[in-house]
Structure 1
Amino acid sequence: MEKSANAEIQEVIINVKSEREANSPSGNESQNEEVDGEANASIGNGHQNRELVKDITQMLESSEPPLSPKCCIYRVPLDLRNLNEEAYTPKVISIGPFHHGVERLEAMEKRKVRYFKIFVEKAKLNVENLVSIIRDREKDVRSCYSEISNLSTDDYVKMILLDASFIIVFLLKRGHEEWADCDNSTTFTERLMIAIFNDIWLLENQLPLFLIEELYSLAFPSPSNYPLFTQLAIQLCEELVTDFFSPLNEHHLSSYSNFHFLDLARTISLSQSKRLQKRSIGNKFLRTYNASQLVDAGVKFKVVSSECLFDIEFTNGVLKIPCLTLYIQTESLFRNLVALEQCHYQFDRYVTDYVYILDFLIDTNKDVDLLVEKGILVNTLGDSNAATTLVNKLSQHTYFIVMNSDYCRLCENLNTFYSVPCHKWKAILRRDYFSTPWRIASTVAAIILLVLTFIQTVRSFY
């Protein structure tokens, strides 16, 4: 019944359509065809739109959430990484999720387990309590990283627990006598200690300090015979600052509120300064001349000791600069500090400013030799070309909105001094005629001879 009824309906539709086509002129036929074509196209477009909307919806649902306000540990931007990938990559140990599971770093995972065992036994801790603490803080820890880790909760908690306990034992080995020989393994050489020390400062190789401090406080609650974690952390960072920058003065930190070791090292290096200026949107970016050009214009260079590395001053024709030692590791440290500022600090990019000033002063090997001669640079890299290349590449692919107003005035004053002709003339006289006792003597003799000749000529004329 149902089938026959449908057949009758189809037959009626066909007859009506046939009559319409028979009674319609050819123009109407084309119009009907166009209408049918548009209808079919509309149906096709509608289907395609639904598929596209579905794809876009799925894309939006799978997109990563915006960075948390707590985010402080970042992947180094690709354009910076491409300049020197090794400067940002750990050599022996992975800390945190970014380099976790890398095959060439697996050798240290066994040592992490051994250190965790030492930490638990010497501090008499309950593993279940440690796991509970980190599991409760997992969300806060994950929010500190710029990328979402694919590790499960269990794997993530295990990774953080091993990494944090390793850092605690590493700090105690360096800062507490009872822990100095806790790992008597012959493989733990001074070379390995230095390699671990260098890896701890990499931006991608950080753990949030609040978590490490929480575990440390659980293991060694105050008061105890152990130093506060704050003291150990600052001591480690001060060692780095002293090695690479300048000796610390009396203004060193007694406390901190920083995110991780690299950020703490930056804070300590800046805390030595008495002259860091607040940023202002109106600050303009100025270049200045290289060291050789400034010397030719009469600028004198003078090394300043026991002050912040970033305190550069120009007064009365003298450019005062604290000493900077260039090691093999200097590039890695500066690159990671600059990367941190590029990713996290929108305005307070003081290390980036300093790198630009260095780049202005050093263009050629002659500039490096001049600064080494003045004691401003200590170059342990082997030759001047290596130092020139290092400095010139540090500022590449770096950006900032405003510049330190103190450095703006520095560049402006140097440019003004350079533009005064009499300064250049004095410099030429000093360099060509009065630079050594012999030149002074010969110059004075020439002047006397010239005066006597002039007098003789005048007398002969009269």
Structure 2
Amino acid sequence: MTANPQMEELSAIPSSDQVQPLETAEQPTAMATAAAEAVAIPVEEELKRAAEKMENNFSKIKTKIHRYPSIFRSLISTDDRYFVPRAVAIGPYHHGAPHLKEAEEVKRAAAYYFCGESGHSVEEVYQRILLVAAEARSCYVDDDTVASIGEGDFAAIMFHDGCFLLQYIICSTDDIAPSLESWFNSNDASMERDIFLLENQLPWVVLDALMTFRSVPVGEFISQESASFDAYTDLEKRSFVLDESYTPSHLPWPPSNSSAIELAEIGINLVANKKTWFNDMSISKGALFGKLFMAPLVMDDQNACWLINMMALEICSASTGMASTGMDGEDTVCSYVSLLAMLMSREEDVHELRVKRILHGDFSNQRTLVFFKNLVDLIPIPFQHSYLLDNLEAYRRKRWMWIPIHKFIYNNLKTIVTVFSIIGVLVGIFKTLMSIKQHQQ
């Protein structure tokens, strides 16, 4: 019998008891919604935790031990001498680096001496650190390096590094164990640099806890170290007060160029202040000339390192609120560096800054120019610097009639002096001839 195609098609259709109920449009929608809600709950929690973490980090921005901003990475990759410690790791970021292992044994010895000289047992001092270890840990960026360190190991780092750092500070004003002092002295050049690196710091809460057992002149030490920036050795001794008033910031503003020579051409003289306060920058307008006051700077390898790390700290600690006005001194170092960089367009400008006693030190003109130009490219123009630029523009607008005269005199000063000297000589000769003629008569 020949198969009937229609019968085959019918047989392929399942019977009523085989037919599964078709899902209505509402059913898949309901199922999808339920699944979406199930996924949304953990996703929302994850996003909430991320937001809370960010808020928590922002609330501690002033006390955070920051990593270098990403804009500094290109500079670090080409020259890391201003960023990587040479002798000792302070804190967890560089802990365990192979070239810094020698200092680890010295830290343990320093902790032993610190506890012994404080009159308290090692156990008592260490227990005090354990109480603040969690707070100290929250001061660091929670990256893979810090996350890989267990709670016990982290507390040990805080204990050893804190005692070590305080012993180094004590060494500058008091006697310590000769063996420890010998190590500090032999590594002093590297130590002075290492302890001021942005990523090589301890939270203040650790040092404060340790100083409950022994008083340490931290303020005096910082004052002595900051004297490295002084261009004049006959200054009154400055005191340094430890407080929480220094809060850096930065703001983007349009750049402007006015080199040292260009300012001289328009009648603005550079004047070095007698004290090295970076925020003491101002412009005064006289009857004929203007003056730009700024702090002098000794340029050497150590001060270059400190400048970079202070700038990095200001950028990392940038906050809202007063940052919008910039009048609280939050961008002091960035403003100072921006001003110096603006004054340098070529090596002749660097020489002019030396003549005006703004720049000192053993950096060559070329090295100084390259250093500041590379550095200023990494930062936005700070508010305080922009404020000075506004004053310069106001000076140009107000003195526009005098500027061509100033420029002519500046660029032809030698010729003018020579001409007047010749005139003076000719006048003298003329007077002599007239005197001789009168005597002959």
Amino acid at match of 1:370: E
Q: Is the 8 A contact 2:88 2:100 kept in 1?
A: yes
Q: 2:310 aligns with which of 337, 345, 369?
A: 337
Tell me which residue corresponds to 1:200.
195
Amino acid at match of 2:405: W
Q: Please give the alpha-carbon distance, in whole angstroms, between the structure 2 residues aligned to 1:19 and 1:81.
A: 67
SS in 1 for 2:156: helix
Tell me which residue corresponds to 2:180.
183
Amino acid at match of 1:112: K
Q: Is the 8 A contact 2:300 2:361 kept in 1?
A: yes
Map of 1:25-424 to 2, 5 A cutoff? 56=43, 60=47, 65-66=53-54, 67-68=56-57, 69-70=59-60, 71-84=63-76, 85-147=80-142, 149-150=146-147, 151-176=149-174, 178-179=175-176, 181=178, 183=180, 185=182, 188=183, 190-218=185-213, 220=214, 228-229=215-216, 232-245=217-230, 252-253=238-239, 255-258=241-244, 287-315=256-284, 316=286, 317-346=290-319, 347=323, 348-381=330-363, 383-399=364-380, 402-403=383-384, 407-416=388-397, 420-424=400-404
Q: Is the 8 A contact 1:172 1:180 kept in 2?
A: no
Aligned residues: 392
Amino acid at match of 2:167: V
Amino acid at match of 1:328: D
Amino acid at match of 1:82: S
- TM-score, length basis structure 1: 0.72
Q: Please give the alpha-carbon distance, in whole angstroms, between the structure 1 residues aligned to 2:84 and 2:110.
A: 23
Q: Is the 8 A contact 2:298 2:361 kept in 1?
A: yes
Tell me which residue corresponds to 1:441.
421
Structure 1 unmatched ranges of 5 or more: 1-12, 21-31, 221-227, 259-263, 271-278, 448-462
1:362 Cα deviation from its structure 2 partner: 0.9
1:297 Cα deviation from its structure 2 partner: 2.4
Q: Is the 8 A contact 2:253 2:380 kept in 1?
A: no
Q: Please give the alpha-carbon distance, in whole angstroms, between the structure 2 residues aligned to 1:238 and 1:17.
A: 94
Change (3 A) 1:55 1:371: same
1:242 Cα deviation from its structure 2 partner: 1.2
Q: 1:432 aligns with which of 412, 415, 429?
A: 412
* TM-superposition CA deviations, 1:240-277 (whole Å, max 9, x none): 3211245696694464224xxxxx9x79xx9xxxxxxx
1:203 Cα deviation from its structure 2 partner: 1.3
* TM-superposition CA deviations, 1:325-383 (whole Å, max 9, x none): 111123221111111111113322121111111121112111111111222111412x2
Amino acid at match of 1:131: Y
* TM-superposition CA deviations, 1:289-323 (whole Å, max 9, x none): 11121222233233332352332333222333332
Amino acid at match of 2:243: S
Amino acid at match of 1:93: V
- TM-score, length basis structure 2: 0.75
Q: Please give the alpha-carbon distance, in whole angstroms, between the structure 1 residues aligned to 2:250 and 2:305.
A: 29
1:324 Cα deviation from its structure 2 partner: 1.1
Identity of aligned residues (%): 18
1:37 Cα deviation from its structure 2 partner: 12
Bigger relative CO (Cα 8 Å, ≥ 6 apart):
2
Q: Please give the alpha-carbon distance, in whole angstroms, between the structure 2 residues aligned to 1:337 and 1:237.
A: 14
Q: Please give the alpha-carbon distance, in whole angstroms, between the structure 2 residues aligned to 1:47 and 1:280.
A: 48
Structure 2 unmatched ranges of 5 or more: 1-12, 324-329, 428-441
Amino acid at match of 1:299: I
SS in 2 for 1:202: coil
Change (3 A) 1:432 1:121: same
1:200 Cα deviation from its structure 2 partner: 0.6
Q: Please give the alpha-carbon distance, in whole angstroms, between the structure 2 residues aligned to 1:38 and 1:246.
A: 82
Change (3 A) 1:307 1:109: closer
Q: Is the 8 A contact 2:259 2:345 kept in 1?
A: yes
Q: Is the 8 A contact 1:284 1:408 kept in 2?
A: no
Q: Please give the alpha-carbon distance, in whole angstroms, between the structure 2 residues aligned to 1:158 and 1:445.
A: 81
1:163 Cα deviation from its structure 2 partner: 0.4
Amino acid at match of 1:16: S
Amino acid at match of 1:159: I
Q: Please give the alpha-carbon distance, in whole angstroms, between the structure 1 residues aligned to 2:117 and 2:24.
A: 82
Cα RMSD over matched residues? 4.0
Change (3 A) 1:37 1:384: farther
